[in-house]
Amino acid sequence: MWQAQILTLFPEMFPGPLGLSLAGKALDKKLWSMDVMQIRDHATDKHRSVDDTPAGGGAGMVLRADVMGRAIDAAISQRPEDTTNDDWPLIYLSPRGKRLNQKMVHDFASKKGVTLICGRFEGLDERVIENRNVLEVSLGDFVLSGGEIAALMLMDAVVRLIPGVIGEPETLREESFTSGLLEYPQYTRPQMWEGLEIPYVLLSGHHGKIKEWRQETSEKLTKERRSDLWKEYIRAKKEI
């Protein structure tokens, strides 16, 4: 069973949308599990303080190394025996992290589980990141109020890959990024809608032509919308 540990100041944000639909049903069936941990439980003062002003000055607050170190160690102690960061990554959701992609998602899904650190304020004391071998992961070039929404998104991407969560495995094999391309357009009934028809080839019953059309449209969309993916796709084809 794939497991997720979440270190957060707002445990009530979980499971959130992951308690619904296919992910929620899979959670009920114990195809995966979630353990939400309150960071403030590892503070030592009467106010349960978790942050302090930035060294060197500046706006905002920073999550303290001592509190976060204890929180991370507590999470690690609850992992199965003989578990390492290689088979259970320790992840900090951060705008400066490595950009999450489908290849990384598949890699996380192949692990025993992940521990997700949800940052707040100006971020996490750098010493914790360095001393606990934390992997920084970003969802994109934008900033959120905290890491909780990012953690939910990462878990959703992973959970749908767990066997038994999605009914038809073929769905996973043909979606965007699996082949390095964006997914081809999708259509369904009615055949005619507001003067617009479903492309004839999709109704032809000719599986070879349908496959060719889907490949061509995937390539066209990727080239038009994601030049970065297109360049990588062309490079990979040349290496084959």
Return the pLDDT at 94: 96
The CATH 1.10.1270.20 domain(s) of the chain lie at 174-239
Q: Judge: domain 2-159, CATH 3.40.1280.10.
A: yes
Return the pLDDT at 178: 77
Return the pLDDT at 177: 80
Return the pLDDT at 169: 67
| Band of pLDDT at residue 90, cut at 50, 70 and 90 | very high
Instruction: List helix spans (H) across 7-147.
Output: 21-28, 65-77, 102-109, 126-131
Range scoring the smallest mean pLDDT among 26-40, 67-81, 119-133, 160-174: 160-174
In degrees rounded to 5, what are phi and psi of residue 129? Answer: -60, -45
Return the pLDDT at 24: 98
Please report, for residues 21, 28, 60, 120, 136, the alpha-carbon distance to residue 18 in angstroms, rounded to integers and kept in the order given.
Answer: 8, 11, 31, 21, 22
Q: What is the mean pLDDT of residues 105-124?
A: 97
Cα–Cα distance measured from residue 176 to residue 135, given in angstroms and rounded to the nearest whole number = 25
The CATH 3.40.1280.10 domain(s) of the chain lie at 2-159
Cα–Cα distance measured from residue 50 to residue 107, given in angstroms and rounded to the nearest whole number = 32
Return the pLDDT at 196: 95
Share of the chain above pLDDT 70, in %: 97
Model confidence, pTM: 0.90
Cα–Cα distance measured from residue 164 to residue 149, given in angstroms and rounded to the nearest whole number = 25
| Band of pLDDT at residue 159, cut at 50, 70 and 90 | very high
57 sits in the region (left: phi over 0; alpha: psi -120 to 50; else beta) called: left
174-239: which CATH number, 1.10.10.10, 2.30.30.40, 1.10.1270.20, 1.10.3210.10? 1.10.1270.20
Lookup result for tokens 């084959």: 240
Which residue has better confidence, 151 or 171?
151
Q: What is the mean pLDDT of residues 37-48?
A: 97
Q: What is the mean pLDDT of residues 215-236?
A: 95
Return the pLDDT at 34: 98
Q: Cβ atoms within 10 A of the Cβ of 32, count? A: 21
pLDDT exceeds 70 at position 170: no
| CB-CB contact of 234 with 227 (8 Å) | no
pLDDT exceeds 80 at position 172: no
Give Rg (Cα) of the chain.
Answer: 22
